[in-house]
Amino acid sequence: MAAANASLSRTGLAFFSSLCVGTFSLGCWQSQRYFEKIKMIEKREQDIMMEPKKDLEKDAKCSIDEISSDGSLSVDESVVASSRNDRGIRRILVQGKFCHEKEVLVGPRGPPAAALSETGPNSGRSSGGMSSSPQGYYVLTPFARSKNMGTILINRGWVPSEYVLQKAGWDRPKGVVNIVGVASKTETPRFISPPHNEKEPRQLLWMDRIAIEKLTSTTGASPLFLQETSSATEKNTIIFPVKPSKETVGEFKVSPATHAGYGFTWFGLSGFGVIMTRKLITRGRG
């Protein structure tokens, strides 16, 4: 019996010790992420206050989604790494003409963050996904740059579903215009990605790079993808498509406060494991 108890004690000791080490490590990781996120937010806030960059060519190489040799979509991770660390969320100014006849809709999605209201169900704080927010579609339009500098893709913003169902018109600028946006990326298909609606060939369910290039006649070019941001004159006026403000572009889904909460939770579990381990070691003594 004594041998059995000793064996049980060693097993319990190993289990609770691994629990302590594992949860403490997770707590340290969340603490590290907390301080990293603070620095990233500071960098982002500095970048969005800077004047838009006009030298597009230097940014293009690190902002293009690439298609792998087997035809599947793969997002260039340098887009996120460079934009969130070295380059930050730097806005870019481009000049050219929209090709509205080739625009593509992606949805249904919620509106951009704070595009309709700062708080509440219309705030769009779900990062544009399916939620209780009003549903609609993002308008993706090819943009032929001036001086024959090639065509890029612009996410012009969000329009309500009723606009699409009723085939109502929304703002479609004509002629040469200046656009300010942030380098963005399309979406990587998951294990189960829903097929697009064949009855509405110009309406996609997700930002499928291959389908977008086919519909916009930019196949093989892998054009730069920009998220247009609203200007100061548009801030207090709702004009569809509505665009995210520069203050909300690049917002992080997980805030520093969330990382701190996770950290306290893991450290708490680690402390609980230490207490249980101590009780296990001292059991039967005295």
pLDDT at 94: 93
pLDDT higher for 277 or 78? 277
| Per-residue confidence band for 78, with pLDDT thresholds at 50, 70 and 90 | very low
**Separate counts of helices (H) and strands (E) for the chain:** 6, 9
| pTM for the predicted model, two decimal places | 0.73
The arithmetic mean of pLDDT across residues 146-169, rounded, is 91
Residue 160 has pLDDT above 90, yes or no: yes
Over residues 7-19, mean pLDDT: 73
* Cβ proximity of 241 and 139 under 8 Å: yes
- Using pLDDT thresholds of 50, 70 and 90, give the confidence band for residue 57: low
Query: What pLDDT does residue 123 have?
Result: 62
Residue 231 CA to residue 118 CA, distance in Å, equals: 16
Q: Report residue 22's pLDDT band, with 50, 70 and 90 as the boundaries.
A: very high
Confidence at residue 254, expressed as pLDDT on a 0 to 100 scale: 86
Those residues with Cβ within 8 angstroms of residue 103's Cβ, 6 or more apart along the chain or in another chain:
139, 140, 141, 142, 156, 202
Residue 128, SS3 per DSSP: coil
- Is there a cis peptide before residue 241, judged by omega within 30 degrees of 0? yes
**How confident is the model at residue 128, as a pLDDT?**
43
Pairing status of strand 91-98 against strand 136-145: antiparallel
Residue 12: name the closest of 278, 269, 200, 213 by CA: 278
Residue where the block lists tokens 């296990």: 280
**Confidence label for 125 from pLDDT (cuts 50, 70 and 90):** low
Q: Give the Å distances, CA to CA, from 99 to 86, 132, 177, 183.
A: 33, 32, 12, 19
CB atoms inside a 10 Å sphere around CB 25? 12
CB contact burial 39-52 (16+ within 10 A = b; e otherwise): ebeebbeebbeeeb
